Amino acid sequence: MNASPGAMSAAKRQIDGTEPFDGELAMRGYALNAMCFSFNQGENREAFARDEEGYMAKFGLSEQQKQAVRERDVLAMLDAGGNVYYLAKLAGIFGLNVQDLGALQTGVSLDEFKAALLAQGETQRRSAA
């Protein structure tokens, strides 16, 4: 199929159950991701823990983003443009890890998510043999 470059960029890749992180989503999530990136430094994590509202205001989060953070709603943060790699910094403040985020994102329990990861690994190893 010979599609023009313009037609290719106009079509958004579809993946069931998720919204691909593209330029549009990156722009929408810039403030949230910038705030999460700041959590690489301990003093910023402490400042957020002391005053979440003030810290979110400092980065200019949208109301949608602030509400998602207030509710600890990972899916809403993703919908608001959050990138899971940056959100992992925020999740750490809440005592969550990347597997916790994966479970929340896919709507299964942490144990179910871990089992699915292990099953996928077994499938990959069998296919490679």
Domain boundaries, the chain: 18-95, 97-129
C-alpha dist (Å) from residue 77 to 36, 105, 108, 116: 11, 10, 17, 23
Identify which has the larger pLDDT, 76 or 106.
76
Q: Is residue 38 over pLDDT 60?
A: yes
Q: Does domain 18-95 have CATH number 1.10.700.10?
A: yes
Q: Is residue 2 over pLDDT 50?
A: no
pTM over 0.85: no
- Measure CA of the first residue to CA of the last residue in the chain; give whole Å: 34
Q: Is residue 78 over pLDDT 90?
A: no
- Of 9-13, 63-67, 79-83, the one with minimum mean pLDDT is 9-13
Q: Is residue 4 over pLDDT 70?
A: no
Q: Is residue 34 over pLDDT 60?
A: yes
Which residues is 18 bridged to in the sheet? 15
